[in-house]
Structure 1
Amino acid sequence: MKYGRLILEKKEYVYLKRILNISGYAEDHETQRCLMKLSEELQTAHIVDEEEMPSDVIRFNSNATVAFESGVEKKIQIVIPMDKDFKNNKISILTPLGSALFGYSKGDTVLWDFPSGKQNIKIIEVEQEATLKDIDMAI
Structure 2
Amino acid sequence: MKYGSLILEKKEYVYLKRILNISGYVGDLQTQKCLTSLSEELKTAHIVDEEEMPYDVIRFNSKVTVVFENGIEKIVQVVIPTDKDLSQNKISILTPLGSALIGYSKDDAILWDFPKGKQQLKIVEITQAKNFSEFDLVI
Same fold (TM over 0.5): yes
In 2, Cα distance between the equivalents of 1:79 and 1:111?
21
CA distance, structure 1, for counterparts of residue 12 and residue 18 of structure 2: 10
Identity fraction in percent: 71
Question: Residue 19 in 1 paired to residue 23 in 2?
Answer: no
* Distance of 2:25 and 2:124 partners within structure 1: 28
Are 2:51 and 1:67 equivalent residues in the alignment?
A: no
Query: Which 5+ residue runs of structure 1 have no aligned equivalent?
Result: none
Cα distance change on mapping 1:59 and 1:44 into 2, 3 Å: same
Specify the alignment match of 1:40 in structure 2: 40
Distance 1:88 1:26 in 2: 23
SS at match of 1:24: helix
**Residue aligning to 2:77:** 77
Instruction: State the shift of 1:136 in Å.
Output: 3.5
The match for 2:103 is 103
Q: Distance in 2 between matches of 1:28 and 1:127?
A: 30
The CA distance in 2 between the partners of 1:2 and 1:89, in whole Å, is: 26
Structure 2: state its 5+ residue gaps: none
Give the direction of change, closer, same or farther, for the CA distance of 1:25–1:100 in structure 2 (3 Å limit).
farther
* Number of residue-to-residue matches in the alignment: 138
Alignment deviations for residues 112-132 of structure 1 (CA, whole Å, 9 cap, x no partner): 00000000010000110043x
1:52 aligns with 2:39: no
Separation in 2 of the partners of 1:118 and 1:25? 24
The CA distance in 2 between the partners of 1:114 and 1:96, in whole Å, is 6
Q: Is the 8 A contact 2:60 2:135 kept in 1?
A: no
What is the letter of the counterpart of residue 59 of structure 2? R
The structural deviation recorded for 1:87 is: 1.2
Q: CA RMSD in A?
A: 1.3
- Helix, strand or coil at the partner of 2:121: strand
Instruction: Give the Cα separation in 1 of the matches to 2:134 and 2:86.
Output: 22
